[in-house]
Structure 1
Amino acid sequence: MTSSAWQKSSYSGANSDCVEVRVSDGLIELRESDDGDVIVLTTRLNLADFLQGAKAGEFDHLTTS
């Protein structure tokens, strides 16, 4: 298994509640920095679709509990 290091946005600063990303064996892995045991595997196309939706505000109505 070939994996790059986990990276988070520089906009996150010292916050521990952010999304981290890395590439592993050609797949893109996403996780929350405060819960590193949960990893979502996705493809470049799926990530591009997600980012496009986020930029368009498709997820703005979602809240966390």
Structure 2
Amino acid sequence: MTDTNWQKSSYSAANNECVEIRTADGLVELRESDQGHLTIPTTPAHFAAFLQAAKSGEFDHHA
């Protein structure tokens, strides 16, 4: 498996409770920093679609 380092947002809290992301073997993986053993894999295309939807406010009614 070819891994890259986990990255977290510069907006993350000082207590390191955040969502982290990396690419591995052509997939995008997400995890919560305090639950590092649990990962969510997805394709780059699905992740890009999610980011676009979040940026456009599509999920704002869930907040």
Runs ≥4 in structure 1, deviation > 6 angstroms? none
Q: What is the TM-score with the length of structure 1 in the denominator?
A: 0.82
List gaps (5 residues or longer) in structure 2: none
Alignment correspondent of 2:45: 45
Q: Which runs of 5+ in 1 are unaligned?
A: none
Aligned to 1:6: 6
For 2:58 and 2:15, the matched residues in 1 are separated by: 24
C-alpha separation between the residues in 2 aligned to 1:15 and 1:49? 29
SS state of the match for residue 34, structure 1? Answer: helix
Tell me the percent identity. 60
What residue is the counterpart of 1:16 in the other structure?
16
**TM-score normalised per structure 2:** 0.84
